[in-house]
Chains A and B, each alone.
Chain A
Amino acid sequence: MDFDGLLRDFPDLTTTGLEQGAIYALVALGYTLVYGVLRLINFAHSEVFMIGTVAALGTWQAMGYNQNSSVNGVGLTLLLLLVGVAAAVAASTLTAVAVERVAYRPLRRRNAPPLAFLITAIGASFVLFEAVGLFSDNLGIGGERGPFGMVRPFKPAELFSIGGWTITNTQLLTVLSAIGMLIALDLFVNRSRMGRGIRAVAQDPDTAALMGVNKDRVILLVFVLGGIMAGVAALLWNVTYAFSRFDVGFLIGLKAFSAAVLGGIGNLRGALAGGLLLGLVENYASGLFGGEWKDFTGFVVLIVLLMFRPTGLLGESLGRARA
């Protein structure tokens, strides 16, 4: 147990932990939304995220920028970021909607048991990542099942330093984006008409339909929102790590889903809280016990927390009066 190391590294572990946690949080929002409305764990969401990263890197490559390109000038950086986020969000949303249409809607029409949804979700996840893994060579983004490199829109650099705490540009961008997206989503779900529809369907789908809410459209909207969140997370991932792979979604998805449960499944603010907390716990565990205990500690914390507070940190509430 390296307490001295933890103390010495605490500022850096915290800032980088929040950075990683912000990405978990954005992906967790997708899980929590879909679960809150449909009571379905959308396992394919991790691939929605991965396809977002691939779309952004593919677009950058089509523009002529790969891992060996250097980016000079703020204008080019902004262009790459805008194009990247547009491509990632578009691809993620399309994938999410496609999965909903092809995999889940037919099951809903036939009133399939929940287990069928679960297996279909897992199956969709496998199909998507294996497809990317097998065809990545043909698409020209990397070897079969291999790692994908990509251009860095901006170099990571320290922005400022307060006390012992240094904050880099990627960290600031990631955490602020996550908080910003959460606030936007929160406002949308709580203040807008369509958001009210979402909350209504989450509370009671049949009564909502009787009240005039178009259930199918609401469900589509939920998947679209999840896709948008995953697309933004994908871009932030690309900016932070400049790396992707066909199975990068798997571990991120698992942790993001756990973060969603940690914060309260169905609770949007809980997803942010859970994501940030998981990111921090992983880093502190690495600092204190060593890298091999990272995942173990993260999940032990999850289990212990659920034992004492089964509905998660902030409780389930998409269907309640608040989100």
Chain B
Amino acid sequence: MRQKLARAFGGIAIAALVFGGAACQAGDDDGDDGGSGSNAACGMKIGFFGALTGDAAGLGIHMRNGTKLAIDQYNKDNADCTAEIVEYDSQGDPAKAPALATQAVSDQKVIAIIGPAFSGESEVADPIFQSGNLPTITPSATRPSLSTKGWSVFHRGVGNDESQGPAAGRYIKNVLKAEKVYVVDDQSAYGAGLADEVKKVIGTPVGEDKVQVKQTNFSAVVTKIRNSGATALFYGGYYTEAGLLLKQLKGAGWQGTMIAGDGVNDANFITVAGQQNAEGTILTCPCAPATSAKGTFVTDYKAAFDNAEPGTYADVSYDITKIVLEGLKDGKATRADMLSWIKAYNKAGAATGVTYKFEGNGELDPTQVIVWAFKVQAGKVVPDVEIPKA
């Protein structure tokens, strides 16, 4: 008697689970073209993968904010069928990336990744995303070789260092007109690649050296730069090391100008270097200034994040997240469908104004790539000028 009761209960419980599970499945009607809310994919997750704590967190936090803003706005408009952000804090460290990437791939609700933010972590995480067929769009990883590895899931929402590096080189040659340039990089996938691209344009630098990520004592390279007579220093790497290097350089009496790439393009650079020391530094970015973004992006960002100004790539993250969100609205509920959606996408972004169209290898359409130079002035990073194409 009790056995029959137990079996009956068990059967009802299992049936309830099965029907409940079926009801919770993202509604995906076959053969229906999307557009209406009833077809949208619900309850899916969009992952943000990047440095949210650590020495380069300033960069990751702004990108995460852009992603979060897009998702929050989408959820307000689609309250019955929302999407969720999942944050994967890699601390910008390639050593920490694989475990997090595996975590993302195994969570079947994660339908796309915005990121990985840095090139070093992309090199180790993207193969894992590829094996799980999890589409990614990075707002900031600029190492050119990432698009040559044959990863169908890889997409880049900005130009790569083959545009940024030469643009920085042209700025040094044509605008600064610096004769003696010293080149330093931090041996990271991003920094070393960018420095190499710059060297191709400026020719042989008066000296070059390498430092390490997490290094604090730059006395040897400071000595070398000072005694080489260089008037300009190009640094390939991230803002903490750049700030420390510049602080020690100025402390040793060097009067030249530092030029660095998008990895240094963050307000925290000024915090680490010190306002006086950072003054006049030139920072590039394969993006237009986020503070001049179109539409209501800047006001929305400030309202959502404690009146903070949007930082580098916040607007790019916002736009590429919207690509994924539009796919969700259209009913793309599987990773394969989302991947085809991204590959077929061809529309202008609301915040950047860039038309997002990805080539076969995942690179952004070359006609859409722009590189801007920014300057540190009066304790803030302000836009300087768009660097013209060669």
Contacts and interface: CB of A to CB of B under 8 A. Distances in A.
B216 interface: yes
A205 interface: no
B201 interface: no
Q: Interface size bucket, A side?
A: 35 or more
Contact of A9 (B223, B248, B251): B223
A196 interface: no
A52 to B, nearest CB: 15
Contacts of B216: 241, 243, 245, 248, 251
A178 to B, nearest CB: 15
A13 B214 contact: no
Given A9-B227, A243-B216, A292-B187, A68 B275 contact: yes
Interface string A243-262: 10101100100000000000
B251 A149 contact: no
B338 to A, nearest CB: 31
B247 A242 contact: yes
Contact of A149 (B55, B217, B248, B271): B271
Contacts of B54: 144-146
A67 interface: yes
Interface in A136-155: 143-147, 149, 155
A155 B251 CA distance: 8
Interface in A14-67: 16-17, 19-20, 67
Contact of B219 (A16, A145, A149, A290): A16
A22 to B, nearest CB: 12
B244 A290 contact: no
B219 A17 contact: yes
Interface stretch (A121-129, A264-272, A279-287): A279-287
B211 to A, nearest CB: 5
Given A145-B91, A147-B268, 13 more contacts: A9-B220, A9-B223, A9-B227, A12-B226, A13-B223, A145-B54, A145-B57, A146-B55, A146-B268, A241-B217, A243-B244, A251-B216, A290-B209
Q: Interface size bucket, B side?
A: 35 or more
Interface of B: 53-55, 57-58, 91, 184, 187, 207, 209-212, 214, 216-217, 219-224, 226-227, 240, 243-244, 247-248, 251-253, 268, 271-272, 274-275
A68 B274 contact: yes
A114 interface: no
A282 B252 contact: no
Given A287-B223, A290-B210, A67 B271 contact: yes
A5 interface: yes
A16 B226 CA distance: 14
A298 to B, nearest CB: 12
Contact of B227 (A12, A146, A155, A248): A12
Given A146-B53, A149-B272, A287 B220 contact: yes
Nearest to B218: A291
